[in-house]
Amino acid sequence: MKSLIRKELAFYLNNPLGYIVITLFAVFANFMYVKDIFVNGSASMRPFFDVLPWLLMIFVPALTMRMIAEEKRTNTLEVLLSLPISEAQIIGAKFVASVILTGIGLLLTVGLPLSLLVLTGEVGSSIYLPEILVGYLGVMLMVCGYVALSLFYSGLTSNQIVAFLASVVTIFFLIIFSTDFASGSIPTALQGVFNYLSPATQLAGFVKGIIDFRAVLYFISFSLLFLFLTIVDIEKRK
Amino acid sequence: MIELKKVSKQFGEVQAVRDVSFGAKKGDIIGFLGPNGAGKTTTMRLIMGLIHPTSGTVEILKSNPITNRLQTLTHIGYLPENNPLYGEMQVQEYLSFVADLKNVNDKEIVAKIISSVDIEEKLTAKIEELSRGYRQRVGLAAALIGDPDILILDEPTSGLDPIEQEKIKKLIIKIATRKIIIFSTHILSEVEDVANRLIIIAKGTVVYDGEKPKRAGAVEKLFKKLVQ
């Protein structure tokens, strides 16, 4: 499986596409936070984590859309399936590679808490580092869910753009129905369901520095469900 | 070592192959002939376990390629139709990747294969920059890694010029000992030069399975008689 992961990573890291997408994400993520930092007047990373579900909604599908769709278009998936490796290994490797790539993007945002640490230190205050670490943990769990969902759509089509759009739209609706903006337009009985299904709602606890095991379970189940569906879809085509 | 018994495959309304039965043993070099859409690729994909038969059974080395897929695939080398490869990879990188996935850790084995298909001078070239002939040799090298007992080659000379076709034909003959080779082709002379057995498939059904006729031009006559 290591070779498969290396192959996926090598494609992005030997190709301007990977650097462009990761850099764009880092620029937007840093900018969205920095532009308001002095207006907010508080040394908290919460506004940063609050915006990440929306930013990653674009970034993760952009990285993941080609993973299976391109293999199908060029028929290299048949080459992989003719080798003694299982479908689960193929999908697992693509999943791990995508999570690593997104992790690299997130790594480029650690300058923000470090800057906060310096700035607050200068005024004799400090930020609470464990809260930030738990926030990053929550974001990585959310990334796993986004990657699994995007891989699923990438496996359904050989068109990368279709895979990208389907992933973005699905994540958008998962998030939007839990916001105040849209929750008024859905029946009260369903509001709890949509709230529960929203990655942004599940992330909220982590942003406050709380490791909520129900949310951990949600992200793990969400990821496993879509990885399972992706594998089943490949097997079903036989 | 390969046994297909009354194998049929249906895609929706389309009956791709119907009641295909044949066996193959070591030393068989089977030329698999048929017009476009006759069911050659479907049959090969059924042998590989890439698709499941609608009815009938496929056995590879007395094992089911669907239920024992991973174990069966260690014995088969496959060159798919149009030879899909990762264009962004270098030749050496690609072959090492395939070797890793086939659990072949001995670099000397890979080096020998590289030498046998004569691609040493292209090892650092990107696959997308290679000529069609070289790409075909890379695909063949990948299929040969792991010294498989069975080689399934789907139109290995398709789109090649006569000189490259000749090279690939010689390669197949060179590697044929102690193996089963099934290769599909449209080029009838290729079967005369390379195969020792002939299977002709038309409209999804095997219409000839036997020794290759020995007289020059006899394969073409037989093919035309059975297919047209």
pLDDT band of residue B92 (cuts 50, 70, 90) is very high
Interface predicted TM-score (ipTM):
0.85
Q: Is the pTM of this model over 0.90?
A: no
A33 contacts: CB under 8 Å, gap ≥ 6: A45, A47, A48, A51, A112
Q: Do B82 and A78 touch (CB under 8 A)?
A: no
Closest residue in B to A7 (Cα–Cα): B97
Average pLDDT on B13-35 reads 89
Max CA distance (Å), chain A:
65
Average pLDDT on B37-63 reads 90
Position A53 pLDDT exceeds 90:
yes
Position A54 pLDDT exceeds 90:
yes
Q: Nearest 5°: phi and psi at B25?
A: -130, 170
- For residue A123, what pLDDT is reported? 63
Closest residue in B to A13 (Cα–Cα): B88
Closest residue in B to A10 (Cα–Cα): B89
Strands B14-24 and B2-11: antiparallel
pLDDT digits (tens, 9 = 90+) for A109-155: 988 888 877 777 666 666 778 888 999 999 999 999 999 999 999 99
- For residue B150, the SS3 value is strand
Q: Which of A120-124, A136-140, A158-162, B63-67 has the lowest mean pLDDT?
A: A120-124
Average pLDDT on B39-68 reads 90
Q: Do A7 and B86 touch (CB under 8 A)?
A: yes
Residue B50 contacts A where some CB pair is shorter than 8 Å: yes
Q: Nearest 5°: phi and psi at B196?
A: -115, 0
Provide the 10 A C-beta neighbour count for residue B46: 26
- What CA–CA distance (Å, rounded) separates B122 from B168? 17
What mean pLDDT is reported for chain A? 88
Classify the C-alpha dihedral B48-B51-B52-B53 as positive or negative: negative
Q: Kind and range of the H or E element at B76?
A: strand B76-79
Structure-token match 């031009």, residue found: B217
Of B69, B76, B80, the CB nearest to A75: B80
Which of the residues B100, B126, B151, B152 would you substitute to probe the A interface, choosing the one with the greatest number of A C-beta atoms within 10 Å?
Answer: B100
CB burial of B10-35 (b: ≥16 within 10 Å; e: otherwise) equals eeeeeebbbebebebeeebbbbbbbe
Classify the C-alpha dihedral B209-B149-A77-A17 as positive or negative: negative
Query: Measured between beta carbons, which residues in chain A are less than 8 angstroms from residue B52?
Result: 238
- For residue B61, what pLDDT is reported? 87
Q: What amino acid occupies position A149?
A: L
- What CA–CA distance (Å, rounded) separates B184 from B43? 10
Q: Where are the alpha helices (DSSP H) in B31-106?
A: 40-48, 69-73, 91-101
Smallest Cα distance from B177 to chain A, Å: 22
Q: Best-predicted range by mean pLDDT among A173-182, B7-16, B109-118, B208-217?
A: B7-16
- For residue A40, what pLDDT is reported? 67
- What CA–CA distance (Å, rounded) separates B89 from B70? 25
Q: Nearest 5°: phi and psi at B72?
A: -65, -40
Strands B150-154 and B180-185: parallel
Q: Do A238 and B85 touch (CB under 8 A)?
A: no
A53 contacts: CB under 8 Å, gap ≥ 6: A142, A171, A175, A199, A200, A203
Contacts 24+ apart (CB under 8 A), B64-69: B66/A238, B69/A86
